[in-house]
């Protein structure tokens, strides 16, 4: 079954086609709206919509930052199909939309903003990958913004990796904003590195060779 959603977010009118197999197919998810209420997109921001679903966050971002500066990805082939359709519908067809299991097929490493509404009702393996690898893919000064209904694990993980996190409670959701800061030796950045999985530590080392 297919659905049509017409909405206005940040004074931008948007239309989305969805189907029943996708996350929140009848209405824009309240957590996503809470996250977007806490974010301002700036011209020339480099944005990643991580786990894009049918494209709400990335398509809205493109209206402010420009199509060439936005990447969307999702592991679901159906989600990618509808995100592409919705990008066309909302007149931002040049957005880069990729089928990818997390960062698997994402080559960019200079994002200024990574946004995600992760599957927090499952185990934390997906969120762990998003946070650890997301830190590596942000430019200095870049921010990761996540929304969940769980507090402690995300607070502790983001603090461990980024050295700190800002938390806003909005409409029953927690919106986390963590910034990648330039740090000196012995700073929280080094402590954060030690919290990375061994696989990501090896990957980071190989990038430096």
**CB count in 10 Å sphere of residue 156:** 12
Q: Which of 90, 57, 60, 92 is nearest to 73 (CA)?
A: 57
> Which pLDDT does position 119 carry in this prediction?
84
Q: What is the pTM of this model?
A: 0.87
E runs forming strands in 45-203: 47-50, 70-74, 96-99, 111-116, 138-148, 166-170, 173-179
Task: Check pLDDT > 50 for residue 45.
Answer: yes
> Which pLDDT does position 202 carry in this prediction?
58
Task: Check pLDDT > 90 for residue 191.
Answer: no
> Which pLDDT does position 23 carry in this prediction?
95
Instruction: Read off the pLDDT of each residue in 31-38 and give the average, rounded to a whole number.
Output: 98
> Which pLDDT does position 73 carry in this prediction?
98
Task: Check pLDDT > 80 for residue 160.
Answer: yes
Instruction: Read off the pLDDT of each residue in 164-171 and give the average, rounded to a whole number.
Output: 98
Task: Give the lowest-confidence range in 39-43, 117-121, 175-179.
Answer: 117-121
> Which pLDDT does position 161 carry in this prediction?
97
* Distance from C-alpha of 179 to C-alpha of 192, rounded to nearest angstrom: 12
Instruction: Read off the pLDDT of each residue in 44-57 and give the average, rounded to a whole number.
Output: 97
Report the relative pairing of strands 166-170 and 138-148 from DSSP bridges: unpaired
> Which pLDDT does position 111 carry in this prediction?
98
Task: Check pLDDT > 80 for residue 13.
Answer: yes
* Distance from C-alpha of 162 to C-alpha of 189, rounded to nearest angstrom: 7
125: Cβ–Cβ under 8 A, 6 or more apart, which residues? none
At 189, the pLDDT band (50, 70, 90 cuts) reads very low
Task: Check pLDDT > 70 for residue 115.
Answer: yes
**pLDDT tens figures, 60-82:** 999 999 999 999 999 999 999 99
> Which pLDDT does position 123 carry in this prediction?
79
> Which pLDDT does position 89 carry in this prediction?
98
> Which pLDDT does position 199 carry in this prediction?
58
**143, β-bridge pairs:** 113, 179
> Which pLDDT does position 196 carry in this prediction?
59
Which run of H or E residues covers position 3? strand 2-9
At 198, the pLDDT band (50, 70, 90 cuts) reads low
- Using a 10 angstrom Cβ sphere, with 0-12 exposed, 13-18 middle and 19 or more buried, the burial of residue 96 is middle
């Amino acid at each position: 079954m297919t659905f049509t959603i017409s909405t206005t977010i940040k004074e931008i009118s948007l239309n989305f086609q969805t189907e029943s197999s996708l996350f929140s197919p009848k209405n824009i998810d309240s957590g996503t709206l809470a996250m977007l209420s806490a974010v301002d997109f700036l011209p020339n921001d480099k944005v990643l919509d991580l786990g894009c679903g049918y494209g709400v966050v990335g398509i809205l971002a493109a209206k402010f930052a420009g199509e060439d500066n936005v990447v969307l990805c999702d592991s679901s082939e159906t989600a990618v199909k509808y995100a592409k359709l919705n990008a066309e519908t909302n007149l931002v067809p040049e957005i880069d939309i990729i089928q990818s299991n997390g960062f698997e097929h994402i080559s960019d490493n200079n994002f200024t903003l990574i946004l995600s509404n992760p599957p927090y009702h499952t185990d934390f393996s997906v969120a762990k990958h998003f946070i650890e690898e997301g830190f590596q893919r942000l430019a200095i000064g870049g921010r990761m913004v996540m929304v969940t209904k769980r507090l402690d694990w995300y607070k502790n993980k983001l603090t461990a990796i980024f050295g700190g996190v800002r938390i806003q409670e909005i409409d029953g959701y927690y919106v986390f904003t963590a910034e990648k800061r330039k740090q000196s030796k012995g700073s929280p950045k080094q402590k954060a590195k030690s919290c990375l999985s061994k696989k990501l530590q090896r990957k980071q080392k190989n990038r430096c060779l």
